[in-house]
Structure 1
Amino acid sequence: MSWLVTGGAGYIGSHVVRSLSAAGLDPVVVDSMASGVRGFVPDQVPFYQLNILQTEKLVEIMKRHDVSGVIHLAGYKYAGESVKHPLLAFEQNVTGTAHLLEAMESSRVHNMVFSSSAAVYGTPNEDLVTEATGTFPESPYGQSKLVGEWLIRDQGVAAGLKHTSLRYFNVVGSGSDELYDASPHNLFPLVFQALNAGKTPKIFGTDYGTADGTCVRDYVHVADLALAHVEAAKKLEADAPLEPVYNLGSGDGVSVRQIMDAVAKVTGIEFSALEEARRPGDPARIVADGTLAARDLDWKMRHSLEQMVHSAWKASARR
């Protein structure tokens, strides 16, 4: 029995794959390689390059490897860019999820852990977001993730799919020096790229209604996130009860400017960030309560902000 990881050659997916292996669960990776890195997948892990829109091939893989569950991370993950490319976001995140669910039903695979997002909340009115907070996404990306949750929920009713959706906040750091965040849009890679090029990092938006005017987010370490995925997979396989959604957040907000200060301290490179206009689709503040995940998924913050920056900075040197 094995677990299929869609998007398993990506930054988060590769950490999940390694955590599955460490827990004694056999991972199988499917990735389109639109943003994945082949070297992130260990040689001993079965790997298939294909898009999750390819239903028949997914069925073949699930049957070949006796797949018992799917951790679904594949998708288009850029909130700001999705405003420019909404059709792409919906094709990958909604249509792709529907094809994956179809393949799972055909293969009689009944367990799913879904990579959702804090973007489903939009800009909440509460200082601390819980799973009961209203969902009002402000970007096509956030909308597509919410629709993905609905599809999975409805398939649970229709076909007995056991599932849970994990709503991520800002994922940073590295659990292994060779696994780096390759995104061209995420904050840490952009900051490190600028510093390595002798340029000054940028802050997008300094006029938000926050303490220092910059966006406030929950920053969580990717290795902690991966462990929560594995725990969810184990619970589903054991038929243990799980909530339909969980927030994976720290409960503490960190501003972009605070991140810049931590980067300067860890790298030893002093700089004053350039201030640019806001990006479309970026809410001012999202900070989450992870109490339910702590109760059911052994969720906890095992790394400080400086440890997150330090591990990410070391891994970035491998790019």
Structure 2
Amino acid sequence: MKHLIILFCFTFVAFAADKTAVIKYRGCGITKKAYMKELAAAFTKKYKVEVSIEGGGATKGIRSANDGEVDVGGSCRQCLFGSDAEKKVKLHPVAWDALAIIVNKNNPVKSITLQQLKDVMLGKVTNWKDLGGEDKTLHFFKRNGKISGVGRMARELIFMDVDIDFVATQSFKSSGPLEKAILKDTYGIAVTGISSARKRDVKVLGLDGYELSKENIMKGKYPLYRPLYLVTNKKPTKLAKKFIKFAKSKAGQKIISDQGTVNLREGKKLWPVYRKAMKALEKKYKKKK
């Protein structure tokens, strides 16, 4: 009887510990909207482990994991070249996103070229008539900072220059307020992530003749694609390992795809071109330094 009581107590304590286990996640809003909420719900249902989700941006996601403040971070950019604040993390790619050019749904323009986008972001184009639209002043909205998820990836993918400055009508602290500003401004234009943009009532412009669709991301036809990452410390917690494994599993990848996000299998052909571009950018950065 004594042994049974001890066994019961051990089982109860183990069950209670499992019930109170929590994975702490912090990261960018685009990653959260791409798949994180759904992955977390499915993980909790399967393993009875809660997942607390906090925003804060890609930089905070990476650096919180670096400092051991969270089990898992979320990011829509890679680590900064040579950054001591981000050297203790491991990035786990789990999906693909793309930078989206968004405008108000009442704007008649449907597509622009990559060169036109560059000219807008550098302040060389300031009127919609130069993009095939109305003779109205163009308002370019941008994210604050050069190392935010969208800010950094816009510089990497569009300009291959991480230090370039943009000329904007207004700057925003995060993607949410920026996207909401487009809803209110017929002549506004901005760059954000498609995983976030598709949840807003905005128009997503085509680029170089290609619509920003899941299929065009998968095939690499839409050019501004980028990986989405879960981030752990190089010495991850057991719960972090378990969550990463689930995210990369067949079930986890199906959840990601079901959200309209390109999963790893669907985007496997994107890696060679993307890696080549990032290696060239890193080489350029090191040479510049």
Q: Could you say whether these structures have the same fold, taking a TM-score greater than 0.5 normalized by the shorter chain as the test?
A: no
Structure with higher Rg: it is 2
**Greater helix share, 1 or 2?**
2
- Provide the TM-score with structure 2 as the length reference: 0.28
Which structure is higher in RCO with an 8 Å CA cutoff and minimum separation 6? 2
